[in-house]
Amino acid sequence: MCLGVPGRVIAVDGMIATVDFWGVKKQVRLDVIDEPVTPGDYVLNHVGYAIRRIPPEDIGETLALYDELLAGKSGADLMADDVRGELAASVTASASPRPAND
């Protein structure tokens, strides 16, 4: 539950970013990130929220770990399952309209 997943920002609309996770577009909230985010940036996402803009020079290494994790079989690999759970958290964000008092 603490792993977080990296993704590339495609578009930003107020507090919601459209993020590309391994070719799949999903939406995450930007309420808790501490830097301005623009398309092309990579962000670390946790339970539907971007929590950190990943410095550009570190992206290669960060993505490689997750590439390998996602290759793991479902049900056989706890880390792979946690990563899938994180992705599922972002799927929901995309299905959600904006919260009431936004």
Partner 1 sequence: MTDSWSTTEMRFRDPARARALAARLAEVVEGAGRKISVMHVCGSHEQAIAKYGLRASFPKQLEVIMGPGCPVCVTDLPEVDEAVALARAGVRIATYGDMLKVPGTSMSLADAQTEGAKVDIVYSVMQAVELAKSTTDEIVFFASGFETTAVATAAVIVQGVPKNFSVLSAHKYIPPVMEIVAEMPGATVEGFLAAGHAATITGSAIFERFAARHHKPVVVAGFEPLDILAGLVALVELVVAGNATAINAYPRCVSRDGNKVAQALLWKVFRATGGRWRGIAHVPSGNLRLRDEYADVDARRRFTIDMQSLWDMAPPALVAQCVCGDIMAGIASPSACNLFGKACTPETPVGACMVSSEGTCRIWHQYGGHPDLVRIGRAV
**Interface residue list for partner 1 (CB under 8 A):** 1-4, 29, 31-34, 44, 46-49, 51-52, 54-55, 58, 61-62, 64-65, 68, 73, 76-79, 81-82, 85-86, 88-93, 95-96, 99-102
Integer Cα distance of 31 and 99 in angstroms: 12
* Whole-number Å distance between alpha carbons of 9 and 18: 6
Q: Is residue 83 within 8 Å of 26, Cβ to Cβ?
A: no
Instruction: Report the nearest approach of partner 1 to the CB of residue 10 (Å).
Output: 20
Shortest separation between residue 20's beta carbon and partner 1, angstroms: 19
CB of 45 to partner 1, least distance (A): 10
